[in-house]
Structure 1
Amino acid sequence: MPKPIIAVPADIREIEGAVWHASPNQYVQAALKVAGAMSFIVPAFEDGNEIDAILDRVDGVLVSGSATNVHPSLYGKEAAEGDGPFDPARDATSLPLIRRAIDRGIPLLAICRGIQELNVALGGTLASEIQEQPGIWDHRKPNVPERDKAYAIRQPVIVQEGSCIANYLGLAGEIQVNSLHRQAIAETAPRLKVEATAEDGTIEAVSVIDAKNFAVGVQWHPEYWAETDAPSRALFEAFGDAVRAFAASRTRVSRGEPAFPEPA
């Protein structure tokens, strides 16, 4: 069976005066080497993308982190100075892609900005500059030149017993992660269940309550150490398993067979 294909919504970047549709290498590499899936980068447009046409051609969706933030107007707030940078084309691509993937039962993994987009897409809100709130840690990326040090695994999170994340990781309780962000979920969307939190109460993982398939978001960065860190690898492997199962069901349907045959 050929490798399944996942959609990865692009960021808009300007490089030497040219506009690029881009995605960080760590995500597509983790998808290929650990999840066993090929990535298609979905161009980010403020209008014109046909979401169902995209999803008709893929077996999963991976929503990556980014240096940009979801625009506050999308969750009923006014943008304050310092809330940016923003990427309206990414917002206009990712949010409907997330909603339709969930509706259609297409496996979804949302990371960092992705978990924030997942929350906003389903009706939740975000908090900015959380390190300024009483009792909240400074979750921002350390100001060091070496990326490996910046993305080092250093923070504990508590995974809830019986959660989807616990099932995928094969464990509950405390794990160590690399969570780097200055925004976080404020009001959790009604369709989301909190699956893991930092010791300061910051929401670090969620799942979609009524999802037909794998649909989780994490605030940390499992893609960075997916080949060497056991929890990071387990999450990407679980996503890959869900994507392959979905691709196989799609193949069976195309042959006129039941999508999920009864066990022998």
Structure 2
Amino acid sequence: MRNSRVSQPLVAVSADVCELYDYRWHATPQQYLEAAVASAGVFPLIVPSLGDGLDFDQLLGAVDGVMITGSGSNVHPALYCGDASEANGPYDPARDSTTLPLIRKAIDNGIPLLAICRGLQELNVALGGTLATEVQDRPGMLDHRAPPSDSRDERFSIRQTITIKPDSCLSRLCGAGEISVNSVHRQAIERLAARLDVDAVAEDGIVEAVSVRNARGFALGVQWHPEYWVTSDGPSARIFRAFGDAVRAHAGMRLRAPLRAAQS
């Protein structure tokens, strides 16, 4: 049992709240789950967005990693002293009430964290940063939204150049310098949280990757979608493999702790 847990440890995965078939669902896109299993080698466990109805300490005592997914919804501006608007929606306050405390507790407990797209924005807000909304409408900014297309592969095509900073967490995985990514978003980091470092930026200066400074464990956020091309794109695969390795290392450390305690 212990060996199986180390080989495919549990990872908590965020869930969106949506209405379908006259029911309220807590769901995660399959692409993230497939990437977690096939590329990170972990067992994804979808966490319902029930906010303070959940015991986060108990949850984090049972998993060895946390993955915060992207979403079509945006973080509610009230959480960073912004103004909500119909144009900036939709919002998912139930998800916000779950992911933000989960992110903070995962970081504080040294549990590996991978935050993708909306997840990067949640990471920044959870640690005290703010967001810029509808960045494509700002002078001098690129349009980071998906190109209009009926093809999902086209909408998530790898087409945007970013620059990875030297000596960053991301540079240790993908190397420093320029790479191409599939960034698809309408809002972005405005004021960076004090505990975060910028790992990569787009050509217009938009923050495309962050890491948690002096984190006890792996803690990386990317604004693009590595889950989409994880089987064919090198940087995407390296991000998920690194996350999986960190999760297995954390699982192994926890399994060895009782043995060390017994020997002391």
Q: TM-score scaled by structure 2?
A: 0.95
For 2:73 and 2:129, how far apart are their aligned partners in 1? Answer: 18
Return the letter of the residue paired with 2:55.
E
Q: 1:142 aligns with which of 147, 167, 190?
A: 147
Question: Which string of whole-angstrom CA distances, capped at 9 and with x for unpartnered residues, describes residues 206-232 of structure 1?
Answer: 000021010010000000011110000
Instruction: Say whether the 8 Å CA contact 1:46–1:88 is kept in structure 2.
Output: no
SS of the residue aligned with 1:56?
Answer: helix
| 1:197-208 alignment, distance < 5 Å | 197-208=201-212
Matched, 1:196 2:200: yes
- The letter of the residue matching 1:200 is D
SS in 2 for 1:221: coil
Q: Does 1:185 align with 2:184?
A: no
Q: Which among 244, 248, 263 is matched to residue 240 of structure 1?
A: 244
Task: Say which of 145, 148, 161 aligns to 1:156.
Answer: 161
AA at the equivalent of 1:92: S
**For 2:176, which of 154, 172, 175 is the aligned residue?**
172
Structure 1 Cα separation of the partners of residues 151 and 62 of structure 2: 38
The residue number in structure 1 matching 2:114 is 109
Summarize deviations over 1:131-179 as a string: whole Å, max 9, x none.
111110000111211111110100000000111001022x110000000
Alignment identity in percent?
Answer: 56
- Letter matched to residue 250 of structure 1: R
Query: Structure 2: which 5+ runs fail to align?
Result: none
CA RMSD between the two structures: 1.0
Q: Secondary structure at the match of 1:156?
A: strand
Unmatched segments (≥5 aa) in structure 1: 259-264
1:222 paired to 2:226: yes
Number of residue pairs matched by the alignment: 257
1:261 maps to: none
When you count helix as a share of all residues, which structure comes out higher?
Answer: 2
- Which AA in structure 2 matches 1:256? R
TM-score, L = length of structure 1: 0.95
Q: 1:85 aligns with which of 74, 85, 90?
A: 90
Give the counterpart letter for 1:191 in structure 2: R
